């Protein structure tokens, strides 16, 4: 007697105690057959095959689970990289805007507006100021519009140079030189912070200052 046999036609496992020569009918393929020794051996072979297949399926499910977890981790890492990349791009964009967004202002000396038919003159704003050109950027800071020569000159005459704070610089292009008006804050002899203005001329070729005067308000 044996604990199970396998159908000789469809290999379906039939559990139970059977004797050689006993007649059975397969519930799957409906084959009627007499139990033989080979049916018992076939049972063991098919049983082992099914166990191996079940093990493969379990291993496959475990691998799919690991792959899914790794995929989710990769998505999270990719999301982090994208966020960092966006931040870097924002910083680069901001630096580009600061670099190319240089604005230095000038005040018109005659109060007249440029002709609307002029194509060479830079466009002026409603208050008479205009954006600095690439040539202007050689002499004025792209960060705050200040002129380094005039800033150094003013600091040398201050009681406390470390208190210097640039407020605004306006200029008028005179061809070979600029007329500059700079507004700044700093401490006076009484240690009080005051706002002052100075005017000066800057020769383009030599980058030298002349005609420097304090503006009396």
pLDDT tens, position by position, 103-135: 444 444 444 443 333 333 444 444 445 556 778
- Return d(Cα 111, Cα 83) in angstroms, integer: 50
Predicted pLDDT of residue 63? 92
- Return d(Cα 174, Cα 110) in angstroms, integer: 13
What are the CA-CA distances from residue 80 to residues 84, 90, 93 (Å)?
A: 6, 15, 20
Within this chain, do residues 21 and 84 fall inside the same structural domain, yes or no? yes
Of residues 93, 95, 96, 174, the one with CA closest to residue 135: 174
> pLDDT band at residue 166, thresholds of 50, 70 and 90?
very high
pLDDT in tens, 172-208: 999 999 999 999 999 988 889 999 999 999 999 999 9
**pLDDT for 154 beyond 90:** yes
- Total number of domains constituting the chain: 2
Within this chain, do residues 160 and 82 fall inside the same structural domain, yes or no? no
Residue 65 belongs to domain spanning: 2-94
Residue 44 forms part of a structural domain = yes
Residue 11 forms part of a structural domain = yes
Predicted pLDDT of residue 204? 93
Predicted pLDDT of residue 217? 61
Residue 116 forms part of a structural domain = no
Residue 109 forms part of a structural domain = no
Comparing 6 with 105, the larger pLDDT belongs to 6
**pLDDT for 3 beyond 50:** yes
Instruction: Give the SS3 label for residue 207.
Output: coil
pLDDT in tens, 40-94: 788 888 888 888 888 889 999 989 989 998 888 988 888 888 889 988 988 898 7
Residue 13 forms part of a structural domain = yes
């Amino acid at each position: 007697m044996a604990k199970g046999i396998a159908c000789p036609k469809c290999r379906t496992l039939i559990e139970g105690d059977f004797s050689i020569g006993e007649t059975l009918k397969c519930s799957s393929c409906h084959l009627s057959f007499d139990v033989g020794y080979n049916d018992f051996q076939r049972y063991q072979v098919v049983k082992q095959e099914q166990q191996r297949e079940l093990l493969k399926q379990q291993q496959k499910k475990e691998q799919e689970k690991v792959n899914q977890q790794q995929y989710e981790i990769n998505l999270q890492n990719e999301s982090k990289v994208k966020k960092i990349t966006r931040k870097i791009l924002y910083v680069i964009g901001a630096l580009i805007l600061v670099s190319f967004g240089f604005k230095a202002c000038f005040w018109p000396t005659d109060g007249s507006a440029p002709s609307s038919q002029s194509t060479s003159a830079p466009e002026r704003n409603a208050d008479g100021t205009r954006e600095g050109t690439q040539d202007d950027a050689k002499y004025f800071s792209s960060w705050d519009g200040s002129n380094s020569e005039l800033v150094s000159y003013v600091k040398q005459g201050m009681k406390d140079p470390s208190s210097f704070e640039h407020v605004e610089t306006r200029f008028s292009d005179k061809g070979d030189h600029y007329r500059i008006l700079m507004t700044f804050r700093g401490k006076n002899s009484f240690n009080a912070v005051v706002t002052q203005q100075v005017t000066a001329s800057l020769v383009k070729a030599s980058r030298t200052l002349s005609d420097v005067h304090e503006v009396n308000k």
